[in-house]
Amino acid sequence: MSKICTADEAVALIGSGQSVASAGVIGWLTPDDLLAALGRRFRANGTPRDLTFFFPVSVGDALGIKGMDHVAIEGLMKRVVSGNYLNSVDPQTGRRPEMMRLIRENLVEAYCWPIGATMHWLREVGRRGPGYLTSIGIGSYIDPRQQGGKYTARASEDLVRLHSIDGREYLYYPTWPLDVAFIRASSADEHGNLSFEDEPITSATLAMALAVKACGGTVIAQVRKLVPRRGRLVHEVRVPGELVDRIVIAPDQLMTTGIRHDDRYLGRQIFDGRATDRLPLGADKVIARRAAMEVKKGVVTIFGFGASSDVPTVMMEDGAFAGDGLLDFSFTTEHGPFGGVVMSGWQFSANKYPEALIDGPAQFDFIDGGNCPAAALAFAQFDRAGNVNVSRFGAANPGPGGFIDIAYNARELLFTGTFTTAGLDAEVGEGRIAIRREGKVRKFVDRVDEITYPLLQNLHDRGQKAKLVTERAVFEVTPEGLVLAEVAPGVDVQTQILDLMAFPPHHILDPLPRMAEALFRD
């Protein structure tokens, strides 16, 4: 029997009450045609109902590639477990993703796990293991003593448990069966062998296929083209046909939103040293430039999603990669590319001009093994007790992504973000900054909305080092608390820093150094 079918025929195999896993990283690698067909089937006839969805990473961007928003439908989706969610505002409609509405209105059982846990959990399912055991996340929101990763009141089942072994605490994620997998590749042959020649990452694709087959389930692959069997080099085939049950051809699938194809993400392309991506002069650029001063040559540095991912862009713009300079730096993200330039915005996850690539589970082996000594991450809140929050604040529920695994395992941490948010208006130029209007939301709070990472506790227990960079101040983070170490030219320390903090710094350097004026020049 031929494995080739239409997307509508493929999703017709799914029954009510089943669990559906889908690979994808924002727009990269997302099997959008399959997710769209499943949503379309439910809207047409009301079936299948009450599905559980498992997304190791946020699938789709809710913009050009809708991803999980195709199936964010009450009745179709009963439960969702995801490594993170998206809060992007559609520039045409002004609306946030439908997935966010379901979570905010408590219409689904929503759970959010660290991406490292979702990747390693898939491995346990694939080998029919009892569950994933880890110390990563103790003391954070995923700890059952906090909230156990539950993002809605409907999420009442404890999917994460606390265990003690030989006097040490661990988080335990029991396995449960997966019935269907949606995965994506570049090419397939009639047997179902999958290759990824047009994809800059492979994420959890193989691990997901193995997990679903171990459960006796159905693996459905979306690909751009069909190729002859035995027509590719064996190392190009990353998923064997024995793991694939159905193949859907989607000739128009994009690399990611706004990019149909770009060889610069695939290797063999030589960086010419020119700045093709630029940030406008403003608060974000100041933060990225100051953070770039902390990046060391020859040290593996991992960048997270958000403000921190702007750092390589400004380094490129300011000439740090001129000639063969890019080869002096070792950059990566939680999604497996090594070398090249980390991208920001919706192009984050894949690197331009990469030199190597491993899949998602292997990358978290790399991270959890302590192989990323330096990390640059964003922050949304920092509190009196020294906790950092990036996962849930106000009406936003993005989740942690790879933040927790990265933060727990790095030796030097760099947190970046504006001092206030939601309407901040800052004029930058002539070597100084002028705050014309403060953001409505303050980030230095008495208590974070959610503990993504208990920073001070880990500085004390594990000997980590940390700095916090904003557009107007730089703080060193010590086990005793924040030390105000630098202030921007044009900023009043009392009214524009201290008065906007719910707690005072532990110490202020005296004399207080200024941030370099060059950071504030065009």
Q: What pLDDT is recorded for position 394? A: 80
Strand partners of residue 133: 172
Contact predicate 392/450, CB 8 Å: yes
Task: Compute the distance between CA of residue 400 and CA of residue 54 in angstroms, rounded to an integer.
Answer: 16
Task: Compute the distance between CA of residue 44 and CA of residue 73 in angstroms, rounded to an integer.
Answer: 13
Could you say which DSSP state residue 118 is in?
H
Of 21, 38, 132, 23, residue with least CA distance to 80? 21
Buried b or exposed e, range 158-173, using 16+ CB within 10 angstroms: ebbeeeeeeeeebbbb
Task: Compute the distance between CA of residue 299 and CA of residue 149 in angstroms, rounded to an integer.
Answer: 33
Q: How far is CA 301 from CA 285, 297, 318, 414, in A?
A: 19, 9, 19, 10
- Retrieve residue 195's tokens: 């290759």
Residues of the chain falling short of pLDDT 50:
none
Dump strand ranges (E) for 230-349. 237-239, 246-249, 300-303, 330-332, 337-338, 341-342
In the chain, CATH 3.40.1080.10 covers 4-249, 283-520
Contact predicate 286/520, CB 8 Å: yes
User: Mind telling me the catalytic residues?
Assistant: 334
Q: What pLDDT is recorded for position 279? A: 87
Task: Compute the distance between CA of residue 350 and CA of residue 95 in angstroms, rounded to an integer.
Answer: 27
Q: Which fold is adopted by the domain 283-520?
A: Glutaconate Coenzyme A-transferase (3.40.1080)
Residues 6+ apart with CB under 8 A from 121: 113, 131, 132, 173, 175
pLDDT tens for residues 176-201? Answer: 999 999 999 999 999 999 999 999 99
Which CATH number is 4-249's, of 3.40.50.450, 3.20.20.70, 3.40.630.40, 3.40.1080.10?
Answer: 3.40.1080.10
Contact predicate 4/247, CB 8 Å: yes
Q: What pLDDT is recorded for position 95? A: 84
Amino acid at 501: M
Contact predicate 408/137, CB 8 Å: yes
The alpha carbon dihedral of 274, 279, 280, 286 has a sign of negative
Task: Compute the distance between CA of residue 10 and CA of residue 6 in angstroms, rounded to an integer.
Answer: 6
Contact predicate 134/117, CB 8 Å: yes
Amino acid at 104: R
